[in-house]
Amino acid sequence: MTYLITAILSAAGTPLFIVICGIALYQFFSVGIDLTVIFIEMYRLAEMPSLSALPLFCFSGFLLANSQAPSRIVSFTKILFGWLPGGLAIVSIIICALFTALTGASGMTIVAMGGLLFPALLKDNYGESFSLGLLTTSGSLGLLFPPSLPLILFGIISETPINQLFIAGIIPGTLLMVALGLYGSFYNIRHGKLPKPVETELPNIWTEFRACLGEILLPIFLFVAIWGGYIAVNEAASLSVVYVFVLTTIIHREVKLSDIPKICVESMVLFGAIFVILASAIAYTNFLVDQEVPNQLLNYIRDHIHNKWTFLLALNIFLLIVGCMIDMYSALILVVPLILPVAQSYGIHPVHLGIIFMTNLEIGYSTPPVGINLFISSIRFERPIIELYRASLPFLVILFVCLLIVTYFPDISLIFIAQ
């Protein structure tokens, strides 16, 4: 019923924060819970120290989007990948995966990198629907790569060696990226957009590289700083704002100081909308927990499924539903302790379970009708949610196929793990 109401309200053009808040309020009211819980959750979310990273990354993303950075990156990638169909799509996938691995949040990736990559893809003659679907579904790809915070959290909750999870996630994560990259190449070929010959002489490569060196150094800086443990994510976000501000206003002089207030307002309006949606989603998570929905679903699985392979299929369906209804960190904390003993009773390796878990959750973030990536992309790119549903569908089909491969071929995850 909740899914149906969400789809109807979204199709009618209702603002997203009203849809999410309305459903949360309705569910709490229907069971007699004080409606002030929504505002309590907003206050609790505002107190989270890591929350400051989101508006800061949002602001730096808007600064880059208002500069000529997309044009420089397109020129450089054409030099490097001009011979390969789907070259810029492949680059976009890599950048999104790397950024998500660093931040541990796909919403940050869509906000910070979307403003940079979306206009670049359009400029390189990719279709709008393809570009929207690519960036929406790629926003959570990096969750299988170190130093993924959700992967670390799974290891802590399940008492699984985190270094083994890091190793186990590399091949499945690469599989997802390669599959989407191949689709990007197929899209180019199918639409007659074969790459044009480009001049790949060393002087040309060096010239284009120097032109976008500042943008290239930004993800490298974030990777080294966060992976090395020198700074936290919110500190990295603060430094990225300073870095991008200097790059766009002083070095390249493409953003005027008089434009900064306008850019700041636009980015904070976006952050405000995302904040309301996240707060409402967390409140709705608490409703599901209060009604013991995860416990009921798992008890049903335990009572009616006795075959390992059938259990894995049911587990995937369950986790996809969880992934699109509950934020990832809440899902990890609430569901892992429930699933782990059941999975072990079927003889499933805990490391393999961790990779299945993370793959499902990252796909669930983009799964209609209530995947959070869809809502964030709808706000970030100012497109109707129904359009995001259609744009993401072909990418989700590919990711679902990869999920089945990861699920039913455990050696993909465990090949380097001593069993």
Q: Which of 219, 55, 212 is nearest to 142 (CA)?
A: 219
Answer for the pair 312, 413: CB distance below 8 angstroms, yes or no. Answer: no
Domain encompassing residue 365: 2-414
For residue 419, being part of any structural domain is answered with: no
The confidence score (pLDDT) of residue 269 equals 79
For residue 285, being part of any structural domain is answered with: yes
Amino acid identity, position 419: Q
For residue 98, being part of any structural domain is answered with: yes
For residue 114, being part of any structural domain is answered with: yes
Q: 340 — alpha (psi -120 to 50), left (phi > 0) or beta?
A: alpha
For residue 188, being part of any structural domain is answered with: yes
Answer for the pair 343, 305: CB distance below 8 angstroms, yes or no. Answer: no
Q: CA angle at residue 147 from 220 to 286, to 5 degrees?
A: 125
Q: How many domains does the chain have?
A: 1
For residue 358, being part of any structural domain is answered with: yes
The confidence score (pLDDT) of residue 18 equals 72
Q: 198 — alpha (psi -120 to 50), left (phi > 0) or beta?
A: beta
- DSSP-derived 3-state class of residue 257: helix
- Name the token pair of 154: 């799974």
For residue 23, being part of any structural domain is answered with: yes
Amino acid identity, position 79: I
Mean pLDDT per segment of 10 residues, for the chain of length 419 residues?
64 66 77 76 69 77 77 71 75 80 67 78 84 89 78 80 84 93 86 57 73 78 71 79 89 88 84 71 68 70 80 88 74 77 85 92 83 83 86 93 94 80
The confidence score (pLDDT) of residue 17 equals 64
For residue 232, the surrounding DSSP H or E stretch is none
For residue 368, being part of any structural domain is answered with: yes
Answer for the pair 78, 193: CB distance below 8 angstroms, yes or no. Answer: no
